[in-house]
Chains A and B, each alone.
Chain A
Amino acid sequence: GENVEQHPSTLSVQEGDSAVIKCTYSDSASNYFPWYKQELGKRPQLIIDIRSNVGEKKDQRIAVTLNKTAKHFSLHITETQPEDSAVYFCAAFPSGGTYKYIFGTGTRLKVLA
């Protein structure tokens, strides 16, 4: 079936360094790719998203890049801060011929002070 692979599963960086999380999707019909941040015990919240007609999008310290040919997209966080520590999920939409998200398995990011 359709799936989204996300790497790495855990990532530790020093405060101030950059972090990059990568996702690869299988359904070439997917055209919307959101990224969610989930803090411990809380709900996933959208932090940035990108559509398939755009190659890159940036919002302050966060950016997302999309390579449609290779079917992968990445989240880039620059100048990381301790409050960036959380689990990050990517997703592809639509997927499998239906209007539903397929989520990646998540990346636990730890920013070390």
Chain B
Amino acid sequence: DADVTQTPRNRITKTGKRIMLECSQTKGHDRMYWYRQDPGLGLQLIYYSFDVKDINKGEISDGYSVSRQAQAKFSLSLESAIPNQTALYFCATSDVSSGPGRTDTQYFGPGTRLTVL
């Protein structure tokens, strides 16, 4: 889904470095999410945001922080990367609209593969 983009797509870094992963969307959605996926495992929610002023912790927020710079942009930071943060990171968006047309469907970006050495 080209409407949700993530940069970088791949990143190799060293322990202790600060890393920022960026997500942009052109879908006009209010809700944005960051997930982590470890090899062979499911999706774990790190942070989610319902609008620019609303940021919420997910299941595994320790060691991560986020910034919602605009409706279309949601960044994930690792302040001091550690090897067990090596994973595939996905951004997702969904619509906050209500009523008959509401779908609640989440649309995922292409993912960022992060390796921490």
Q: Which residues of A contact B (CB under 8 A)?
A: 32, 34, 41-46, 49, 89, 93, 98-101, 103-106
Q: Could you tell me if A105 and B1 are in contact, using CB atoms closer than 8 angstroms?
A: no
Q: How far, in angstroms, from A49 to B108 measured CA to CA in the complex? A: 15
Interface size on B, residues (CB 8 A): 21
CA distance A49 to B104 in the complex (A): 10
List the interface of chain B (C-beta within 8 A of A).
1, 31, 33, 41-43, 45, 48, 50, 56, 58, 90, 103-111
- Contact check, A104 vs B42: say whether CB atoms are below 8 A apart: yes
Extra contacts, 8 of them, besides A43-B1, A89-B42 (Cβ < 8 A), are A34-B106, A42-B111, A43-B109, A43-B110, A93-B104, A100-B45, A104-B42, A106-B41
Q: Report yes or no: A100 in contact with B48, Cβ–Cβ below 8 A.
A: yes
Q: Is the CB of A45 within 8 A of B108?
A: yes
B43, closest chain A residue (CB): A103
Task: Report B76 CB to chain A, min CB distance, Å.
Answer: 16
